[in-house]
Amino acid sequence: MKKKVLISDPTLRDGNHAVRHQLKKEQFASYCKAADLAGIPIVEVGHGNGIGASSLQLGESACLDEVLHQTARENLKTSKLGIHMIPGFATIEKDLKKAIEYGVDVIRVASHCTEADITQRHIEFTRKNNKTAYGVLMMSHMASKEILVEQAKKMESYGAQALIIMDSAGFYLPQDVSERILLLTENLTIPVGFHAHNNLGMAIANSVAALEAGAELLDGCARGFGAGAGNAQLEVLVAVLHRLGYETGIDFYKLLDACDLAEKELMPAPPTINSLSIVSGLSGVFSGFMKPVSRIAKDLNLDPRDIFFELGRRKIIAGQEDYIMEVAKDLAQKNGKMA
Amino acid sequence: MSIKKYQFIQEDLGKLFELVNSKDLNLLKGSSVCITGCSGFVGTWLCEIINYLNDKFKFETRVYAIDREIDKLRNTAPHLLNAKNFEFKKVDVRYLSELPKDIQFIIHAAGTPDNRFHELNPVDVMTTSALGTENILKIADRLSDLRMFSNFSSALVYGNFDAREKPIKESESCIGNSFSPYVAGKIYAESLTVAFRQQFRIPSIIIRPFTFVGPFQTLTSPWALNNFIRDALGGSTIKMLGSGKTNRSFLYGSDMAFWILKMTLHGESGSIYNLGSPEAVELSKAAKIVTECFPQSMDILFCAGNASTNKNNHMIPDNSLIESSFSLKPTVPTVEAIKRSVDWFRIESSVG
Amino acid sequence: MKKLKVAIIGSGNIGTDLLIKVMRSPFLECSAFIGRNFHSQGMQKAQTLRVNISADGIDYIKNNPDCCDIVFDATSSASHFEHAPVLADLGKFVIDLTPAKIGSMCVPAVNLKEGLGAKNVNMITCGGQASIPIAYAIGKTQCEVEYVEVVSSIASKSAGPATRINLDEYIHTTEEGVKSFSGAKKTKAILNLNPAIPCINMQTTVMAKVKNPDVEKLKPFLSEIIESVKKYVPGYEIIVGPVIEDGRIFVTARVKGLGDYLPAYAGNLDIINCAAVAMAEEYAKYKS
Confidence of residue B235 (pLDDT cuts 50, 70, 90): confident
Chain A interface mutation, best of C192, C243, C249, C250, highest count of A Cβ atoms under 10 Å: C192
C208 neighbors C145 (Cβ within 8 angstroms): yes
The interface predicted TM-score (ipTM) is 0.92
Nearest-angstrom CA–CA distance, A104 and A43: 10
- Spans of chain A below 70 pLDDT: 1, 337-339
Q: Which of A304, A171, A165 is nearest to A229 (CA)?
A: A171
**Residue C198 reports pLDDT greater than 70:** yes
As a whole number of angstroms, the distance between CA C130 and CA C256 comes to: 11
Could you give the number of structural domains in chain B?
1
CATH superfamily for C126-266 is: Dihydrodipicolinate Reductase; domain 2 (3.30.360.10)
Q: Which of A118, A323, A326 sits opposite C167 (nearest CB)?
A: A118
Residue among C171, C192, C250 minimizing CB distance to A91: C171
The answer to whether A115 faces chain C, any CB pair under 8 Å, is yes
Question: What is the average per-residue pLDDT within B232-236?
Answer: 86
- What is the reported pLDDT for B199? 87
Q: Which domain holds residue B11?
A: 3-214+251-278+317-331
Chain B closest-CA separation from residue C185 CA (Å): 38
At A238 the pLDDT is 98
Provide CB contacts within 8 A for A225, sequence distance 6+.
A11, A14, A15, A18, A231, A262, A266, A267, A270, A271
- Worst-scoring range by mean pLDDT, B151-160, B228-237, B307-316? B307-316
Q: What is the pLDDT of residue B67?
A: 96
Residue B88 has pLDDT above 70, yes or no: yes
Closest CA to C155 of C210, C190, C198: C198
Cβ neighbours around C148 below 10 Å, total:
31
If 0-12 CB within 10 Å is exposed, 13-18 middle and 19+ buried, where does residue B75 land?
Answer: exposed
Model pLDDT, residue B177: 66
Q: Write out the residue limits of the CATH 1.10.8.60 domain(s) in chain A.
A: 275-334
Residue C36: CB atoms within 10 Å: 16
Residues forming beta bridges with residue A83, ordered by sequence position: A107
**A98 vs C: CB within 8 A:** no
The minimal CB distance from A150 to the residues B198, B268, B271 is found for B198
Task: Give the CATH number of the domain where residue B100 resides.
Answer: 3.40.50.720
**Parts of chain A belonging to CATH 3.20.20.70:** 3-265
Per-residue pLDDT at B174: 65
CATH architecture of structural domain C4-124+270-287: 3-Layer(aba) Sandwich (3.40)
pLDDT at B222: 82
Residue in B198, B201, B268 nearest the CB of A144: B268
> DSSP state, A228?
T
The pLDDT of residue C210: 95
What pLDDT, on a 0 to 100 scale, did the predictor assign at position A339? 45
Strands C202-210 and C248-255: antiparallel
φ/ψ of residue B264, rounded to 5: -65, -40
Residues of chain C with CATH 3.40.50.720: 4-124+270-287
pLDDT band, residue B122 (cuts 50/70/90): confident
Give which of C12, C103, C18, C6 is closest to C61, Cα–Cα.
Answer: C6
Cβ–Cβ under 8 Å, residues C72 and C8: yes
- pLDDT tens-digit series, residues B165-221: 899 999 987 666 677 889 999 999 999 999 999 989 999 999 999 999 999 998 888
State the pLDDT at residue B265.
97
Q: Please state whether the peptide bond connecting residue C198 to the residue before it is cis, i.e. omega within 30 degrees of 0.
A: yes
Q: Which residues of A301-320 are buried (b: 16+ CB within 10 A; e: fewer)?
A: ebebbbbbbbbbebbbbbbb
**CB-CB neighbours of B323 under 10 Å:** 12
- At residue B175, the pLDDT reads 61
Residue A87 forms contact with C (CB below 8 Å):
yes
CB A41 within 8 A of CB A257: no
Pairs across B and C, CB distance < 8 A: 38
**For A200-209, B224-233, C216-225, which range has the lowest pLDDT when averaged over its residues?**
B224-233
Which segments of chain C belong to CATH 3.30.360.10?
126-266
pLDDT at B305 over 80: no
pLDDT of residue A184: 97
Residues of C with CB under 8 A from a CB of B: 13, 41, 44-45, 48, 156-157, 160-161, 195, 197-199, 257, 259, 261-265
Determine which of C148, C165, C187, C193 to mutate to test the interface with A (most A C-beta atoms within 10 Å).
C193
When the pLDDT of each residue in chain B is averaged and rounded to a whole number, the result is 91
Pick the CATH number of A3-265 from 3.30.930.10, 3.20.20.70, 3.40.50.1370, 3.30.980.10: 3.20.20.70
> B1 pLDDT exceeds 60?
no
Residue B313 predicted with pLDDT over 60:
yes
Q: Which bin fits A319, alpha (ψ -120 to 50), beta or left (φ > 0)?
A: left
Find, in chain A, the residue whose alpha carbon is nearest to that of B197. A147
Contact A214, A182 (CB under 8 A): yes
Q: What is the DSSP code (8-state) at residue C250?
A: E
Range list of β-strands (E), chain A: 3-4, 6-10, 42-45, 80-85, 106-112, 132-138, 163-166, 192-195, 217-219, 246-247
C10-28 in b/e burial notation, b at 16+ Cβ within 10 A? bbbbbbbbbbbbbbebebb
Residue by residue, DSSP assigns A259-305 as: HHHHHHHT-SS-----HHHHHHHHHT--GGGHHHHHHHHHHHT--HH
Res B155: pLDDT: 94
Query: What's the CA gap between C61 and C54, in Å, rounded?
Result: 10
Task: Tell me whether residue C126 is one of the annotated catalytic residues.
Answer: yes
Is the confidence at residue C94, as pLDDT, over 60?
yes
Grade residue B75 by pLDDT with cuts at 50, 70 and 90.
Answer: confident
pLDDT-derived band of residue B162, with 50, 70 and 90 as boundaries?
confident
CATH T-level assignment (fold) for domain A275-334: Helicase, Ruva Protein; domain 3 (1.10.8)
Residue B274 lies in a domain: yes
**Contact (Cβ atoms closer than 8 angstroms) between residue A313 and residue A232:** no
Nearest to C205 by CA among C266, C253, C258, C259: C253
Pairing of strands C248-255, C236-245: antiparallel
pLDDT at B352 over 50: no
Average pLDDT score over residue span C58-72: 96
B85 lies within 8 A of chain A by CB: no
C-alpha distances (whole Å) from C186 to each of A58, C149, C179 are 17, 9, 7
A89 touches chain C (CB under 8 A): yes
What residues of chain C lie within 8 A of the CB of A300, using their CB?
Answer: none
Question: Which residues make Cβ contacts (< 8 Å) with residue A317, sequence separation at least 6?
Answer: A112, A139, A142, A286, C192, C194, C195
Neighbours of A203 (CB within 10 A): 30
The confidence score (pLDDT) of residue B243 equals 74
Q: Could you tell me which of A222, A238, A235 has the C-alpha nearest to residue A270?
A: A222
Out of A17, A21, A195, A197, the active site residue is A17
Q: Do residue C190 and residue A57 have CB atoms under 8 angstroms apart?
A: yes
How far apart CA A322 and CA C194 sit, in angstroms, is 13
Domain assignment present for residue B97? The answer is yes
Span C129-142, pLDDT tens digits:
999 999 999 999 99
The residues, any chain, with a CB within 8 Å of residue B153's CB and separated by 6 or more, are B186, B189, B190, B206, B207, B208, B209
3-state SS, residue C236: strand
DSSP letter for each residue of C126-166: HHHHHHHHHHHHHHHHSS-EEEEEEEEEEEGGG--HHHHHT
b vs e for C183-203, b when ≥16 Cβ sit within 10 Å of the residue's Cβ? bbeebbbbbbbbbebebbbbb
Residue A88 to residue C171, Cβ atoms within 8 A: yes
SS (H, E, C) chain B: CCHHHHHHHHHHHHHHHHHCCHHHHHHHCCCEEEEECCCCHHHHHHHHHHHHHHHHHCCCCEEEEEECCCCHHHHHCHHHHCCCCEEEEECCCCCCCCCCCCCCEEEECCCCCCHHHHHHCHHHHHHHHHHHHHHHHHHHHCCCCCCEEEEECCHHHHCCCCCCCCCECCCCCCCCCCCCHHHHHHHHHHHHHHHHHHHHCCCEEEEEECCEECCCCCCCCCCHHHHHHHHHHCCCCEEECCCCCCEECCEEHHHHHHHHHHHHHHCCCCCEEEECCCCCEEHHHHHHHHHCCCCCCCCEEECCCHHHCCCCCECCECCHHHHHHHCCCCCCCHHHHHHHHHHHHHHHHHHC
Do residues C39 and C14 touch, judged by C-beta distance below 8 A? no
- The answer to whether A329 contacts chain C (CB < 8 Å) is yes
Position A11 scores a pLDDT of 98
Q: Which residues of B touch A147 (CB under 8 A)?
A: 269-270
Q: Give chain A's end-to-end CA distance (angstroms, integer).
A: 69
Amino acid identity, position C5? K
Catalytic residue (one of C67, C126, C143, C199): C126
Within a domain: residue B286?
no
Q: How far is C114 from chain A (nearest CA, A)?
A: 30
**Chains meeting C at 3+ CB pairs closer than 8 A?**
A, B
pLDDT of amino acid A122: 97
Which residues of chain A have a CB within 8 Å of the CB of C198?
none
Residue of B nearest to C265 (CA): B144
Please give the pLDDT value at position A290. Answer: 86
Report the DSSP beta bridge partners of residue A164: A136, A193
| Res C99: pLDDT | 86
CB-based contacts of B295, cutoff 8 Å, min separation 6: none
